Amino acid sequence: MQGVGFRPWVHALANRFSLKGHVLNSTLGVEIEIEGPTASVNAFLAEFRAHPPQLAQLDDIIDEELPPGTASSFSIRPSRAETGEFVLVPPDTATCPDCLADLTNPANRRFGYPFTNCTNCGPRYSIICDIPYDRPHTTMAGFAMCPACLAEYENPSDRRFHAQPNACDVCGPWVELRDHARTLAAKAGALTAARELLTAGHILAIKGLGGFHLACNAADHAAVQRLRDRKHRSRKPFALMAASLEAVDRFCEVTAAERAMLSGIRRPIVILPAHPDVDLSPAIAPRVNSFGVMLPYTPLHHLLFAGGQFSALVMTSANVSEEPIAFRDEEVPKRLHPLAGHTLTHNRTIHTRLDDSVVRAFEDRERVLRRARGYAPRPIDVRRPLAPILACGAELKNTLCLTRDHYAVLSPHIGDLENLETVELWQETLAHMRRFFRVDPMAVAYDSHPNYATTRLALAMERVEKFAVQHHHAHIVSCMAENRITGKVIGVAMDGTGYGTDGKIWGGEFFVCDEANFQRFAHIRNVPLAGGDMAIRQPWRSAMAWLAAAGLPLPATLETVPAAHRSVVNTMLRRQVNTVDTSSCGRLFDAASSLLGLCQVSTYEGQAAIELEAIAAPGNSDAYPFDFAGATLDFSETLRHVIADRHNPALASARFHNSIAAAIAESCARIWQAEGLTRVCLSGGVFQNFTLLRRTVALLREGGFAVYLHAQVPPNDGGLSLGQAVVANARLAGPGR
């Protein structure tokens, strides 16, 4: 609860009911002593439970009677650290309406000040160096408050009472605009110059809450294309920051649920359907019919849009593809100068780097796809005891997880552990979280793939018990944990890559499982992929694998692939040289996309499937046939029909999606008949495809199943660490332990 204005709120509430006592922060949480007439105490407790501060999360309230004290008034006492105790650390939150009003009011002393905040908003996790959460333990420690700010900080009736990042233009951080050689402008002048540069088509690196963004005018096609070229990001969609909800309405379809997600305190990137004709660069999201949009979430962002020169900015992470986001000023010369001509930066240090979170609405509920700023490190409360465990996460979209008491604390999104920089970020994140949450793990859980970086990191740890957890079992248990269900379930895990117990690559799995164990009941047919991981980047290889396995002829859509390349792959498949068998649903989607001529080479993860979903004809419920051979689900006949309908790719895409959904529903029906189970957990990155998810959920519910989905944690590998931790906890508590 620390960092949410709890102590000043309690102080004001106690004075409202004329109570005596004190409130303080400790590493146990918030401790309050109140004394007064019974009626006043009861009124205090009722209001306390019913209307806590807007950022507070009350998980436990423990109260007991005490002997009368000696206090003559109610006070806020200095924070107290309890050795080894756990406390919740709050996420960063968007600028609140009151601070936005201050920012835009010429009569207010914070007019135009880009670091305006109060107890209801502003930086938290990104600036906290240690707990308890007090200014000396943040990166604001070096900014001494001026008399006016100190008066607010010490005034119980002020909303900035004990707001730790409190500052103003006199005493707080400031912004500067720099080119590669020098400072060009500072404070208000820097913001004015930055707006002018963006309007003129320049690319800027902009320092935000958790790191730098690369920004340009979203309506300037030349600038957007130049940014693509510099980032080496040929097709992956860029995120947008829109000036307002009204601006979003001009280029996206927005439901009431999505409007709430856009304008709430977390301000994630929200995936929204795009209008067909918009006055924005087509290079923002090539071949995709949606935009990832967020609204301004810091005062600096609001000020960038204050001139009204643009309705939206491209606002993408400041990095070259696959590197961690840059967040330190000293990184700018080497990492950002090749990408941006100017830098809008500031002198408030970022202690913990944070990417933007990504969400999408399904059934009017927020579904997190990337969990970072605004969400992390808010814990998942599983409502039962968990041992202190470290779960290392996956190789891609990595997060790590620490468990303690009844909480699972997931790290912010770390990324793909394919380079030294990201591995170092993983180690840095672990050190931060162990310090913040006072967790000394007794066990470590990791993916069973022997060659993952997380496996090596886990096996190198000393004095901890080690648990290898199968990738797809972790996916299903992650879904179980956030839905707080135990016992046996049907687990449907559909993704791209996961190491199986037979040494093959799994990814289209039907389990009967609980938290400790699983049985593989059925799976998608194994096909041999030529070149292994090369097939992830070249979907035509997956198409060739399925064609060879199914005995289907080569369609004209694959003739765009050089004949020499196809010949080599055919030889590899025929001789089973440098091939790996896989049941991956992700590769099946790649094959369909390739066979329809949509995507033969992927420049970002999931591109082939994303472009396949983008063209699917809406409202179509027809499905192609598929086959069962024992425990194997075969889509050879499905792909034969895809090829036959390739001249109508929108229809073929819709029917292909419906076929996968129908196959999932029939597989679950077979498990129900065999095992008597009716609860189904859906997990894995393929279920980020909401066309597939929508049809699958509908068919399962029509069949009488109770369906459980992800919401708080991603269905992709970003949620895997939660499942690993819960599996390890179940095994620690198992029979004979």
Domains 376-483+716-732 and 490-708 alike in fold: yes
Contacts of 62 (CB under 8 A, 6+ apart): none
Of 21-30, 123-132, 608-617, 727-736, the one with minimum mean pLDDT is: 21-30
Structure tokens at 523: 């799976």
The whole-angstrom separation of Cα 355 and Cα 323 is: 12
Residue 68: pLDDT band (50, 70, 90) is: confident
Structure tokens at 645: 């309908």
**Locus of tokens 């003559």:** 72
Helices (H), 145-269: 147-154, 188-199, 221-231, 245-251, 256-263
The whole-angstrom separation of Cα 586 and Cα 496 is: 4
| Angle 477-481-482 from CA coordinates, rounded to 5° | 125
Give the chain's length: 737
| Angle 367-368-373 from CA coordinates, rounded to 5° | 145
Structure tokens at 604: 């970002």
Kindly report the backbone phi and psi dihedral angles of residue 302, in degrees, each rounded to the nearest multiple of 5, phi listed first.
-60, -40
CA neighbor of 681 nearest in space, from 712, 658, 715: 715
Residue 287 has pLDDT above 60, yes or no: yes
Structure tokens at 178: 């720099």
Contacts of 191 (CB under 8 A, 6+ apart): 112, 114, 175, 300, 303, 304, 306, 344
Q: Exposure of 333 by Cβ count < 10 A (0-12 exposed, 13-18 middle, 19+ buried)? A: exposed
Residue 2 has pLDDT above 60, yes or no: no
| pLDDT given for residue 162 in this prediction | 86
Contact 549, 658 (CB under 8 A): no
Count other Cβ atoms within 10 Å, centred on residue 563: 8
Pairing between β-strand 204-207 and β-strand 212-217 as defined by DSSP bridges: antiparallel
| pLDDT given for residue 85 in this prediction | 65
What residue ranges in 414-482 does DSSP mark as E strands?
Answer: 443-447, 465-469
Residue 618: pLDDT band (50, 70, 90) is: very high
Residue 183 bridge partners (DSSP): 178
| pLDDT given for residue 83 in this prediction | 60
CA neighbor of 180 nearest in space, from 345, 326, 301: 345
**Locus of tokens 């077979």:** 670
Of 129-138, 281-290, 462-471, 486-495, the one with minimum mean pLDDT is: 129-138
| pLDDT given for residue 735 in this prediction | 78
The whole-angstrom separation of Cα 473 and Cα 388 is: 20
Of 123-132, 268-277, 391-400, 641-650, the one with minimum mean pLDDT is: 123-132
Count other Cβ atoms within 10 Å, centred on residue 621: 12
Task: Say which amino acid occupies 148.
Answer: A
CA neighbor of 12 nearest in space, from 56, 57, 55, 48: 48
Kindly report the backbone phi and psi dihedral angles of residue 117, in degrees, each rounded to the nearest multiple of 5, phi listed first.
-160, 175
The whole-angstrom separation of Cα 56 and Cα 93 is: 12
Q: Following CA atoms 372, 411, 30, 435 in sequence, which dihedral angle do they give, to the nearest 10 degrees?
A: -130
Of 43-57, 418-432, 458-472, the one with minimum mean pLDDT is: 43-57
Residue 75: pLDDT band (50, 70, 90) is: confident
CA neighbor of 316 nearest in space, from 368, 358, 279: 358
Contact 496, 584 (CB under 8 A): yes
| pLDDT given for residue 726 in this prediction | 98
Contact 680, 699 (CB under 8 A): no
Omega prior to 377 cis, within 30 of 0 = yes
CATH number, domain 6-76: 3.30.70.100
Residue 27 has pLDDT above 70, yes or no: no
| pLDDT given for residue 82 in this prediction | 61
What residue ranges in 364-499 does DSSP mark as E strands?
Answer: 365-370, 380-391, 401-410, 443-447, 465-469, 489-499
The whole-angstrom separation of Cα 581 and Cα 428 is: 36
CA neighbor of 270 nearest in space, from 354, 210, 374, 357: 357
Contact 235, 151 (CB under 8 A): no
Pairing between β-strand 183-186 and β-strand 74-76 as defined by DSSP bridges: unpaired
Q: What is the residue-wise DSSP string for 613-676?
A: HHTPPTT-------EEETTEEE-HHHHHHHHHTTTSHHHHHHHHHHHHHHHHHHHHHHHHHHH-
User: Each residue of 133-160: pLDDT tens digit?
Assistant: 889 999 999 999 999 999 999 887 888 9
Q: In what order do the strands lie in the sheet with 239-242?
A: 183-186, 175-178, 342-346, 204-207, 212-217, 312-317, 239-242, 290-294, 269-273, 358-362, 365-370
What residue ranges in 308-392 does DSSP mark as E strands?
Answer: 312-317, 342-346, 358-362, 365-370, 380-391
Pairing between β-strand 290-294 and β-strand 269-273 as defined by DSSP bridges: antiparallel
| pLDDT given for residue 53 in this prediction | 75
Global pTM reads: 0.93
Percent helix / strand / coil, the chain, rounded to 5: 35, 20, 45
The whole-angstrom separation of Cα 56 and Cα 13 is: 15
Contact 356, 256 (CB under 8 A): no
Residue 418 has pLDDT above 60, yes or no: yes
Helices (H), 676-737: 690-702, 720-732
Residue 541 has pLDDT above 90, yes or no: yes
Q: Exposure of 334 by Cβ count < 10 A (0-12 exposed, 13-18 middle, 19+ buried)? A: exposed
User: Residues 614-636: what's their mean pLDDT?
Assistant: 95
Residue 522 bridge partners (DSSP): 510
CA neighbor of 720 nearest in space, from 478, 510, 493: 478
**Locus of tokens 């920051």:** 241
User: Each residue of 108-129: pLDDT tens digit?
Assistant: 999 999 999 998 999 999 999 9
| pLDDT given for residue 50 in this prediction | 84
Contact 638, 655 (CB under 8 A): no
CA neighbor of 375 nearest in space, from 725, 713, 29, 59: 713
CATH number, domain 490-708: 3.30.420.40
The whole-angstrom separation of Cα 546 and Cα 526 is: 9
User: Each residue of 306-343: pLDDT tens digit?
Assistant: 989 999 999 999 987 678 899 999 999 999 999 999 99
Q: What is the average pLDDT score of the chain? A: 94
DSSP 8-class letter at 332: I
- CATH architecture of structural domain 376-483+716-732: 2-Layer Sandwich (3.30)
CA end-to-end distance (rounded Å), the chain: 35
DSSP 8-class letter at 599: -
| pLDDT given for residue 84 in this prediction | 61
User: Residues 50-76: what's their mean pLDDT?
Assistant: 81
CA neighbor of 476 nearest in space, from 166, 217, 192, 719: 719
Structure tokens at 662: 């129908």
User: Residues 388-410: what's their mean pLDDT?
Assistant: 96
Structure tokens at 100: 């936005």
Structural domain boundaries in the chain? 6-76, 175-358, 376-483+716-732, 490-708
Percent over 70 (pLDDT), the chain: 96
Q: What top-level class would CATH report for the domain 175-358?
A: alpha beta
The whole-angstrom separation of Cα 210 and Cα 217 is: 22
Contact 444, 724 (CB under 8 A): no
| pLDDT given for residue 72 in this prediction | 86
The whole-angstrom separation of Cα 162 and Cα 75 is: 12
Residue 267 has pLDDT above 70, yes or no: yes
The whole-angstrom separation of Cα 25 and Cα 32 is: 9
Omega prior to 132 cis, within 30 of 0 = yes
Residue 469 bridge partners (DSSP): 447
